[in-house]
Amino acid sequence: MRHLVFLLALVLHAAPPQQPHVHEAAKPADSHVCPMHPDVKGAVGAKCPRCGMALVPVKAPVAGPTGPKLTLADLERMAIGQSPVIGQAQAMVDAAAGRAQQAGLWPNPSFGANGEHVSKVTGGGALGGFVEQRFITAGKLGLNRKVAQQDQAASVQMQSAEKQRLLNTVRSLYYQALGDQRLIDVRRDLANLALRAVGVSRELANVGQADRPDLLAAETEAERIELELISAQNAQERTWRQLAAVVNQPTLRVSPLEGDLEAVPQLDADQALETIYRDSPELRAAEVAVRRSEFTVRRAEVEKLPDIFVRGGLRNNREFGEIGPFGPTQRRGLEGIFDVSVQIPLFNRNQGGVKAAKADAAHARLEVDRTKLSLQARLAAEYKDYRDSSIAVERYRTRILPKARQAYDLYLANFRQMAGAYPQALIAQRNLFQLQDSYIAALVNTWQRAVQIQGLLLGASGTQPGPAKASREEPE
């Protein structure tokens, strides 16, 4: 048993879990390796020149996704060019522009016919036509258009917000996919080591230096590690399916990504808040609402000024205008007609409308302050998560992982010198890989929190699947 675990330790030590990488395919001349001296390689049937032990096969690594590398910019271009969210937002802007145009148009004139005293008794009465027009006074149409133009400006801010939310979703999923890719590399390395350990166990069992329980234990450990690798691959598939939906590319499949997960951004809370105040579509929309409310108040105040209704036309009056000794002598003929009317604001001077408009204006001004406070509070929560993750990343990188790697190396060195128990080396090795998993999760979470802060706290697109939130592991 002691020989078995010693050889397992050497196998695990042959490829220490440093940075994850993709192995190159083994060449035929180097397809086997010595269990006792992993640096000794050779062809099938060869023996180690140092210890004389038969070389065991090298497990071929599982290849990762191949093809041209995708960048974040590539995915963003796909989303902007193909996502229905962008088209919907543009349609809302176009609709608002149409309403702004319509709001300033004059009412159409009315054409009609009229008749009076149409009877044989009166000689046929009067028949004619008229045109009627309503004249809008006090610049009401201009104010209507200005109110509608502010609605158009608000829809433009909503369009900007939807575009930013879409980009936030793409970026969060991109960094999740980078983390999935990195995690698979780590777990694939561990799976390859476990399979090599199984091969050594079988070699020793064949020469009678290992018992069946030892082989079963090695195989069980390899199966457990394989399940973790499968879980990571399934998570990667999920992320890429979400990406395919966000960028509206149903044929998008798992592909290698270009990017540096380690280069986490350094954010300052005060500068971030200043940027958010300057660029936030939410805040700009609130400010647009203030301008809209000011025009609405002016429009309500001039509502009491009456419009003018004018109607004029011609008619042929066939009644006789003069009566002579021998009867009617002449018909009246063509006559001009006109009406002018205004509504007197005696009872209704739009008092309630003015009061309501002023209250809405006060609400809009306060909404600007409320939005600023809301952004500040949301930034505080998001920045706290960002700081937690970024501190964890730095702690893992500079302290935890180096110490865990050093502990593993020391335990393994002690065991190779027969000065320590192999379970301690095994526990240290497992702990190192688990810490690497946590380190990757912290990297992903740091990037996703940074995306939300740099994305003006707008969150993910409401009509698209959001990214899977990475679990955060805190160093003790």
* Each residue's pLDDT tens digit, 340-394: 999 999 999 999 999 999 999 999 999 999 999 999 999 999 999 999 999 999 9
> Residue 322's domain spans which residues?
102-144+291-360
Polymer length of the chain = 476
> Residue 192: which residues within 8 A CB-CB, separation 6 or more?
15, 23, 59, 61, 62
156 lies in some domain = no
Structure tokens at 256: 């290698």
CA R_g for the chain: 41
Q: Quote the pTM value.
A: 0.77
For the chain, the average pLDDT equals: 82
342 lies in some domain = yes
**Is 3's pLDDT higher than 70?**
no
* Each residue's pLDDT tens digit, 107-130: 999 998 887 776 665 566 778 888
339 lies in some domain = yes
> Would you place residue 48 in the very low, low, confident or very high pLDDT band (cuts 50, 70, 90)?
low
Contact 51, 34 (CB under 8 A): yes
> Would you place residue 429 in the very low, low, confident or very high pLDDT band (cuts 50, 70, 90)?
confident
Contact 127, 113 (CB under 8 A): yes
> Residue 105: which residues within 8 A CB-CB, separation 6 or more?
141
Domain count, the chain: 1
165 lies in some domain = no
Residue with tokens 């929309």, as numbered in its chain: 285
> Would you place residue 325 in the very low, low, confident or very high pLDDT band (cuts 50, 70, 90)?
low
214 lies in some domain = no
**Region 143-153: what's the mean pLDDT?**
96
Structure tokens at 467: 């990214």
pLDDT (0 to 100) of residue 210? 59
d(CA 412, CA 421): 9
330 lies in some domain = yes
* Separation of first and last alpha carbons in the chain: 35
> Would you place residue 222 in the very low, low, confident or very high pLDDT band (cuts 50, 70, 90)?
confident
Helix (H) or strand (E) holding 186: helix 140-206
129 lies in some domain = yes
* Each residue's pLDDT tens digit, 284-313: 999 999 999 999 999 999 999 999 999 988
HSE (side-chain half, CA atoms, 13 Å) at 282: 20
> Residue 205: which residues within 8 A CB-CB, separation 6 or more?
211, 212, 214, 215
HSE (side-chain half, CA atoms, 13 Å) at 67: 9
> Would you place residue 31 in the very low, low, confident or very high pLDDT band (cuts 50, 70, 90)?
low
**Region 412-438: what's the mean pLDDT?**
72
Instruction: Compute how many other C-beta atoms are within 10 angstroms of the C-beta atom of residue 390.
Output: 22
61 lies in some domain = no
The larger pLDDT score, comparing residue 420 to residue 185, is at 185
The larger pLDDT score, comparing residue 214 to residue 254, is at 254
